Amino acid sequence: MKKIILLSFALIANIQLILGQTEDPYLWLENVDSEKALEWVQKQNDATVQKLSMQKEYQNIYNKSLEIYNSTERIASPSIQGDFIYNFWQDKEHVRGIWRRTAKESYISGTPKWEILLDIDEMCKTDGIKWVFKGASGLYPKYNRFIVNLSKGGGDAVVVKEFDVTTKSFVENGFYIDESKGGASYLDENTLIVSSDFGKGTMTTSGYPNQVKLWKRGTLLKDAKLLYEGDTTDVSTSGYNMQDNEKSYLMVSQGMTFYTNKTFVWENNKLVKLDIPEDCDISSLLNNQLILNLKSDWTVNGKVYKQGSIISANFTSLIKGQKELQLVFEPDEFTSISGISSTKNKLLIDILTNVKNELYIYSFQNGTWAKTKVNAPDFGTISLGSTDDFSDQYFFNFQNFLTPSSLYLGDADKNTIKTIKSLPAYFDGSKYTVNQYKAKSNDGTMIPYFVVSSKNMEYNSKNPTLLYAYGGFEVSSNPYYSGTIGNAWLENGGVYVLANIRGGGEFGPKWHQAGLKEKRQCIYDDFHSVATDLMTRKITSSKNLGIMGGSNGGLLVGVAFTQRPDLYNAVICAVPLLDMKRYNKLLAGASWMGEYGNPDIPAEWEFIKKYSPYQNLKKDANYPEVFFTTSTRDDRVHPGHARKMVAKMIDMGYKVYYFENTEGGHAGSSTNEQRAKTSAMQYSYLLMKLKN
């Protein structure tokens, strides 16, 4: 029988060869844990670590980065759950981390008395598994029980376990779900809303669940009640509980693509589909007002609600099929929404104007929305944090390139704010200045970008410069404070550049949609235009210019150096997509076809193949010596992308650097030591290529 199976595989391989379907000689590197592939990885890792760890700056950067990552002066990010503040914390004593809590008053006072709930390091020793904490969600309103998510090695797939914070232990015979992508949340004390791998046919081609079930305590998961089933060709189907003070609603979302959803609410023992745009985002539910963020124009009863607007809908009426809508916010050409949240009675909207944030409180009174500006710091990035279910208190952070992050407690009812804690300065920001410029892209669009440099920088075209961008999925690239960048790069004479290219969300949905699918080349043109503008201004030269990007940003820099190798002398390409012919067949890749297109459709492959880095590699091109990084345990972007690109470039005769962390998932690292090592290698590489 074994011989027959082997012969069958050989016959299939021969047929594929005749049909031209096995043209890629590096497919074996997609076998993540194969002995041959891991031996190849180890060989590349050893060579890269040996070379980069010998650079004169390496040890100092590692030591300083680890000191920053482990600093006890870091802000303990708060999550309000009932009467307590919860936080996950890692330092040199807690390498894997501790999940802990303190009374809200204790936290606000600035001298929190932490109570350790779960020690991940101890769990790892007991279980013999490299656990990575992936968050916890509590049972409203008492928050005495939590659903804890734990990953084996940092991937997106998690093991779900029920935890009792009173006894500080996992619940005996409590809810437990084996490792899977998806998730679970409480509907009530004895019922979970579950999306998971329930067996054959219950996962989509993107690798996410396509079923939502209700699971009663004391029963087997396989016997859970099927609530809704999407299609296997969807991205995912999920369920969740949406709370509006004492009222809760069971919601189901069927994600047909990355950007379109059908939304249902469980009402009178049946699912009711909400008549709202499939591409809008549901942001909040506040006092029976469903808050919607529009990604395209929506015309209702002759009135046009414009793309990028925030509107509210009377929720109970909407369930009955009636649209009672109110305009909350309408953006202008330079404005977009950075974040939306709600307290018990107020709506918080974080607005981005010319890539600078302002925070507003909105109140629903007499059928209309009134706004008040929060007196938050100016000229930086505001990020909304945790809000309180039982009051109008909320947290937010403020930072910019030279100002360390500060945590504020706000009261949306009184419109007051109070500083809770500020990071210490990890470098002397007074020596540096920030400028915002614009570069003209190929089609005439002006692309803003920030330059962080020494006040004494000479415009001599010789400054070592690092250009960073993302350019996808409506993700905005906002100014941020980084002690690591300050110490490892700025203090070593580097210039840091953050570009707001299209594909992001800096100027609303239109800025993102301008680079979708067949229009994607404009994103790469934007990036090249910023690089060129830096040289025109004599800030740097191609010899001194390096670029960095991760994930979709890894694709960006992969395209950048294959299209314009003349512009860049160093490239850090992290957890990247690179083989755009096969990306939709690898892990979560199929979920991103709404962004990039479907390479299996000839007409769409026509525009994808023009930029796909893996397919566009050429022999005898003057490519820079690229540094690729990824993780063996990345179950979102397959490590095969980076592996195959490196193998192909080596066989073409190019010198490259490669490092693959054995854990860390899509984040690339799980511990502070791993993060410090990656930082030290990356900045040592940049200094070696661009300065030394």
DSSP per-residue codes, 150-170: EEESS-S-EEEEEEETTTTEE
Does 482 map to a domain? yes
Nearest to 683 by CA among 164, 62, 225: 62
Nearest to 545 by CA among 498, 491, 501, 494: 494
Q: Alpha-carbon distance 692 to 686, whole Å?
A: 9
Q: Alpha-carbon distance 593 to 645, whole Å?
A: 21
Among the candidates 376, 395, 422, a domain finishes at: 422
What does the pLDDT read at residue 20?
39
CB 158 within 8 A of CB 149: yes
394 and 502, same structural domain?
Answer: no
373 and 505, same structural domain?
Answer: no
Does 311 map to a domain? no
534 and 604, same structural domain?
Answer: yes
What does the pLDDT read at residue 13?
36
497 and 366, same structural domain?
Answer: no
Residue 322's CB: how many other CB atoms inside 10 A? 11
Q: Which residues does 342 contact at the CB level (< 8 Å), separation at least 6?
A: 284, 285, 286, 291, 348, 387
Residue 565's CB: how many other CB atoms inside 10 A? 17
DSSP per-residue codes, 250-262: EEEEEESSSS-EE
Does 45 map to a domain? yes
Residue ranges, the chain, pLDDT below 70? 1-22
What does the pLDDT read at residue 167?
98
Residue 516 DSSP label: S
Q: Which residue in the block uniquely carries the two structure tokens 């600035």?
A: 110
* 94 labelled catalytic: no
Number of structural domains the chain divides into: 2
Among the candidates 400, 422, 444, a domain finishes at: 422
What does the pLDDT read at residue 23?
82
CB 220 within 8 A of CB 203: no
Marked catalytic residue, from 236, 341, 666, 670:
666
Q: Which residues does 39 contact at the CB level (< 8 Å), separation at least 6?
A: none
634 and 512, same structural domain?
Answer: yes
Does 355 map to a domain? yes
Q: What is the mean pLDDT of the chain?
A: 95
506 and 485, same structural domain?
Answer: yes
432 and 415, same structural domain?
Answer: no
Does 477 map to a domain? yes
Distances in whole angstroms, Cα of residue 153 to Cα of each of 128, 299, 302, 492, 545: 12, 47, 53, 34, 34
Among the candidates 361, 390, 422, a domain finishes at: 422
Q: Alpha-carbon distance 500 to 478, whole Å?
A: 8
379 and 431, same structural domain?
Answer: no
CB 253 within 8 A of CB 225: no
What does the pLDDT read at residue 1?
35
Q: Alpha-carbon distance 307 to 288, whole Å?
A: 23
Does 90 map to a domain? no
Q: Alpha-carbon distance 236 to 260, whole Å?
A: 11
Q: Which residues does 309 contact at the CB level (< 8 Å), separation at least 6?
A: 293, 294, 327, 328, 329, 330, 331
Distances in whole angstroms, Cα of residue 121 to Cα of each of 91, 126, 127, 430, 656: 11, 9, 10, 39, 35
User: Tell me, what amino acid is at 419?
Assistant: T
> Which structural domain range is residue 528 located in?
27-66+426-690
Beta strands in 388-444 (DSSP E): 393-399, 406-411, 416-422, 432-440
418 and 430, same structural domain?
Answer: no
CATH number at residue 560: 3.40.50.1820
Does 644 map to a domain? yes
493 and 396, same structural domain?
Answer: no
Q: Give pLDDT tens digits for 566-592.
A: 999 999 999 999 999 999 999 999 999
Marked catalytic residue, from 206, 238, 476, 551:
551
Q: Which residues does 181 contact at the CB level (< 8 Å), separation at least 6?
A: 156, 157, 158, 197, 203, 207, 208, 209, 635
561 and 658, same structural domain?
Answer: yes
Does 659 map to a domain? yes
Q: Alpha-carbon distance 97 to 480, whole Å?
A: 24
Q: Give pLDDT tens digits for 77-109.
A: 999 999 999 999 999 999 999 999 999 999 999
Nearest to 84 by CA among 106, 69, 51: 106
* 528 labelled catalytic: no
538 and 511, same structural domain?
Answer: yes
